[in-house]
């Protein structure tokens, strides 16, 4: 109760500006982190602790980016970046970007994701299949909620690209592809040997996810800040899922050792 009282006292009670809210949240997170460092992290593994810290940092980054978008501070950069990327357009590059962006579409990810889940179950990776399902269900809900919350209109698309009916912020392609391909890469690299092989898998994953985000900007259906926000939100969600999975695994090991 003492911890929650300190957090409550650090939170302002009157209506404040976005900047003051940011400072209040920073103090709140600082108090929470101090408590976690003293009372929680000491009993957790290093990787889990670092994951929670990274998720907290990403949360602050997302809040700062969302604040800038809300107040219109990113508009000039977004418009300039759209025009700059569009200046490199060519028919071949446009065809390539249309193909790449399809790899991050809801239709494609749903179909391939279903096949991957069945494949994981077939090779007895049932835990991985369950985690992938939870990850993508949560990512879809997070994407839907954030789009409704911010309600940002999309830019004018290039090359006659059909404009999706959903809002622009954050990019669903960036968020969902980051979660989907990132979780698959994590599953594969946890089961293969060799640093070189693992590095190769992660390098291909990063390249693919980055190209999907770039394709959304190139085609003019998203601002760069939309894509960046999608990546940050996806990272936060993946860290939450990974942390929860490690906690469950640690609890199961503890229960097993106690029952012996």
Q: Quick check: is 16 in a domain?
A: no
Residues of the chain with pLDDT under 70: 1-55, 249-260
Percent of the chain with pLDDT over 90: 36
Ramachandran bin of 162, using left for φ above 0, alpha for ψ from -120 to 50, beta for the remaining angles: beta
pLDDT at 15: 43
pLDDT digits (tens, 9 = 90+) for 153-201: 888 888 778 778 888 888 999 999 999 999 999 999 988 888 889 999 9
Q: Quick check: is 70 in a domain?
A: no
pLDDT at 120: 93
Q: What's the residue count for the chain?
A: 260
CB neighbourhood size of 237 (10 A): 22
131: CB partners within 8 A, 6+ apart: 183, 187, 241, 245
pLDDT at 214: 94
CB neighbourhood size of 35 (10 A): 16
Q: Quick check: is 29 in a domain?
A: no
In which domain, by residue range, is 131 found?
Answer: 77-259
Spatial CA neighbour of 139 closest among 250, 237, 246, 210: 237
Q: How many folded domains does the chain comprise?
A: 1
Q: Quick check: is 197 in a domain?
A: yes
Q: Quick check: is 254 in a domain?
A: yes
């Amino acid at each position: 109760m003492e911890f929650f009282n300190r957090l409550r006292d650090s939170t302002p009670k009157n209506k404040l500006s976005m900047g003051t809210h940011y400072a209040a949240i920073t103090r709140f997170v600082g108090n929470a982190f101090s408590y976690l460092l003293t009372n929680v992290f000491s009993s957790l593994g290093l990787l889990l602790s670092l994951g929670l810290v990274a998720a907290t940092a990403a949360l602050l980054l997302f809040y700062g980016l969302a604040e800038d978008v809300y107040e219109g501070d990113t508009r000039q950069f977004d418009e300039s970046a759209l025009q700059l990327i569009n200046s490199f357009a060519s028919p071949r590059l446009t065809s390539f970007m249309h193909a790449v962006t399809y790899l991050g579409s809801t239709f494609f990810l749903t179909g391939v994701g279903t096949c991957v889940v069945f494949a994981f179950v077939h090779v007895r990776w049932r835990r991985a299949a369950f985690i992938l399902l939870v990850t993508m269900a949560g990512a879809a809900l997070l994407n839907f909620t954030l789009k409704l919350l911010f309600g940002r209109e999309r830019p004018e698309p290039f090359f006659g690209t059909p404009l999706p009916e959903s809002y622009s912020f954050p990019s669903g392609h960036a968020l969902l592809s980051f979660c989907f391909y990132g979780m698959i890469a994590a599953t594969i690299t946890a089961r293969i040997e060799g640093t070189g092989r693992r590095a190769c898998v992660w390098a291909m994953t990063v390249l693919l996810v980055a190209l999907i985000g770039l394709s959304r900007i190139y085609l003019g259906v998203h601002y760069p800040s939309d894509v960046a926000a999608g990546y940050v939100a996806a990272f936060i969600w993946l860290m939450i899922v990974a942390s929860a999975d490690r906690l469950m695994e640690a609890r199961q090991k503890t229960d097993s050792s106690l029952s012996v």
